[in-house]
Structure 1
Amino acid sequence: MAALTAPRGALLAAGAAVLMAGAYYVAFSAGAGERRHAATRDGGSLVDLLVQHRGPEASERVWALVDEGGADALEELEGLHDHDYEGLPLDNEQEGVLIEAVLGLGALAQDSDLAYARVQAMSDPEFWAAHCTWTSGRRDYAPDFFTSFGIQSLGVAGRPDLDEQLGRLRARDANFLHRFAGDVVQSSFYGDMRRELGGEFLSWLRGSSHEQDEDFEAWTATESGRNWFEWANACMRGPRPPASSEEGGG
């Protein structure tokens, strides 16, 4: 997200979500946690389901793969972003599935070093500059939009080195932080919720947005949450700083 909103920088819900990224609002169906994962390989790969506008089935397949785990699941989730869409226009629902796959990779990354390496790569805009091969309604903003979820997925993974990973992002230049500080905060929040909820975390992530909002408000009332929130607001205050040579003009 380019900015924190009240009460959260990103509102992620299972049935539907409204995500704020700068001036853009995107609604997408994320599939209820209680829904049976009926999608199978016989129904087509994730790429097939996506390009055929079979959004609900694609959403189910993402989370079925997360539940399945293993090398094949990782390969199929990564393949959704690695596929060359050759400029194919994707609508909000289709991009919503791509977002879910980012978060799904974060879930796999809790136990998979290969998935974790992928999530770390997805937290950099350069990754998405090379991987956004579809035509997006966000135009040139699409790489930043997906970078936001890559950063948040570090918290979804909830690895022991999360603080180190977030410190790496906090050391980036002012332009990067102006764009992504809210997502760094969101990632820290997710990491704390994963530690608190344990095995119930993914159900929470795909559950009630109202419950998530309440938990975020409670988190920002803690010393750690308040410090993160104030840091992000300071980073995003004022006009966007010019890009440094490190950021390559992004």
Structure 2
Amino acid sequence: MSPETVLTDHIAGKLAQHPTGRPLVIGLCGAQGSGKSTLAARLAARFPDSAVLSLDDLYLPRAARAALAASVHPLFATRGVPGTHDVALGLDIFARLDAGLPVSLPRFDKAADDRVPAAAWPRAAMPCRLILFEGWCVGARAQADEALARPVNALEASDDRDGAWRYAVNAALAGDYARLFARIDDLVLLAAPDWPTVPRWRREQERALRQRTTGIGIMDEAALIRFVAHYERLTRWILDEMPLRALTLRLDAERRLRAVEPPPHVEASRR
């Protein structure tokens, strides 16, 4: 069985139970390269009146991230972690879709490392019955402050010695991002087998991107290793914490489905 088959059945069941009045929001979380964007697109094709909103498309424009790097911490120049997204835009999109109003869905060009002009954003289906909200940290929760004390990799040890960046990331996750993720009706995790698999998957993504286009956002090996290091802390935390409250689809290193695990409270209610 494939993740697409499992989630098609799962979403159909959720839609059957979902009250009319506003769209069902499925949060789809997965590490870089786990296949969540492709999966979300395929699921949207199976369900009429659906829309895909990617957290990646909510990245702040490059100039805004440069300003954040200058005013808060230099590591915020790199897109990815909480604090580098336009959360207000995401909240406005959900509010408009909930109200049955037309809305355009933002797009971010990773090769250019910048937002696509708004005139080129596609319009969401109206009326919208299902929103597939996908992203590498969609639904993530903040860590306890004490968990931030020690760096998890060389990037944090060298570039965030006092922890200011990771504390700011965590504060963003506990604040505006918590409000954004609160709109999720049902959370799904595509769980990588371990952290070392994630850089390999991201390397495959970069190779494919390099074959399609050029731009300042294209990374060589050294840049890629540094880039994924920005994601390591939160990815490890998600893999540890999120299975306690999400439908978890465990993948092997080749992205094949090896287990489907409902959250413990759902499993307990079946007994």
- TM-score normalised by the chain length of structure 1: 0.32
Q: Relative contact order, CA 8 A, sep 6+: which one is greater? A: 2
Give the structure with higher Rg (CA): 2
- TM-score normalised by the chain length of structure 2: 0.30
